[in-house]
């Protein structure tokens, strides 16, 4: 592999590790170059700015995940043909690629934490980039959920999809909290169990009857 490619990957590896552990704002270019064992000129040569490093690290992380999501959805739709799509099956296609990373090596786990960090700590310059990266995925999954939940208004469907992604991001950000929140009964290393529990939980919300809360609950929220 050419030396320049090695240097670029070194920078991205360091960025992934640091951003996933400390967040975007918590990492300086100085700490990045120190972790990557390169000089500042190398970062500017390959990327031009810290913002460009963030985008490149995220793209390297999320593109394989999104390809797998779409492949799973393709298979699901092929098997369903003209029949009904199940909400849990669609959620599985959306969630499972990230859980596959979560139960992999420590390097794969940092991928997952990086994605969760960037979702939970958005920056203005990333919003157009996110839209580009997720456009096809969101379009395909919105259509799949609409097929699984016929009659649900589009604005309600999109809100529920947003909540679903939020649950996934929170879970991926720190699976270790599962152990504490369940008084030691939840095993954060059992990715399959976490995936199954997350799918069941989110499916309940996706399938809920749309409508307003009771007056008493609306007053409590207000």
Domain ranges of the chain: 61-221
pLDDT surpassing 60 at residue 5: yes
So what's the pLDDT on residue 214?
56
pLDDT band at 2 (very low <50, low <70, confident <90, very high): very low
3-state DSSP of the chain: CCHHHHHHHHHHHHHHHHHHHHCCCCCCHHHHHHHHCCCHHHHHHHCCCHHHHHHHHHHHHHHHHHHHHHHHHHHHHHHHCCCCCCHHHHHHHHHHHHHHHHCCCHHHHHHHHHHHHHHHCCCHHHHHHHHHHHHHHHHHHHHHHHHHCCCCCHHHHHHHHHHHHHHHHHHHHCCCHHHHHCCCCCCCCCHHHHHHHHHHHHHHHHCCCCCCCCHHHHHHHC
Predicted structure pTM score:
0.81
Give the pLDDT of residue 98. Answer: 83
pLDDT higher than threshold 80 for residue 24: yes
Superfamily of structural domain 61-221: Tetracycline Repressor, domain 2 (1.10.357.10)
Q: How much is the mean pLDDT over the chain?
A: 85
In the chain, % of residues over pLDDT 70: 82
Residue 179: predicted pLDDT:
58
- Which of the four pLDDT bands, split at 50, 70 and 90, describes residue 1? very low
136 or 102: which carries more pLDDT confidence? Answer: 136
pLDDT tens, position by position, 167-219: 988 887 665 555 566 555 655 557 788 899 999 999 999 999 887 655 555 55
Kindly state the average pLDDT of the residues 23-42. 93
Mean pLDDT of 40-60: 93
């Amino acid at each position: 592999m050419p030396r320049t490619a090695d240097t670029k990957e070194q920078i991205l590896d360091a960025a992934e590790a640091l951003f996933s552990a400390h967040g975007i704002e918590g990492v300086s270019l100085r700490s990045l170059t120190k972790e990557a064992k390169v000089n500042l000129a190398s970062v500017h040569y390959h990327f031009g700015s810290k913002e460009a490093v963030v985008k490149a690290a995220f793209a390297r992380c999320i593109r394989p995940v999104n390809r797998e999501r779409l492949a799973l959805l393709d298979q699901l739709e092929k098997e369903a043909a003209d029949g009904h799509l199940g909400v849990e099956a669609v959620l599985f296609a959306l969630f499972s690629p990230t859980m596959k990373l979560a139960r992999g090596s420590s390097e794969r786990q940092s991928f997952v934490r990086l994605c969760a960090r960037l979702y939970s700590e958005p920056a203005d310059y990333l919003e157009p980039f996110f839209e580009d990266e997720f456009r096809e995925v969101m379009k395909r999954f919105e259509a799949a959920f609409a097929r699984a939940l016929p009659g649900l208004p589009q604005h309600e469907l999109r809100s529920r999809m947003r909540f679903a992604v939020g649950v996934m991001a929170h879970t991926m950000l720190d699976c270790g909290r599962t152990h504490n929140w369940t008084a030691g009964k939840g095993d954060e290393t059992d990715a399959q169990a976490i995936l199954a529990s997350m799918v069941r939980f989110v499916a309940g919300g996706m399938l809920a009857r749309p409508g307003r809360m009771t007056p008493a609950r609306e007053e409590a929220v207000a």
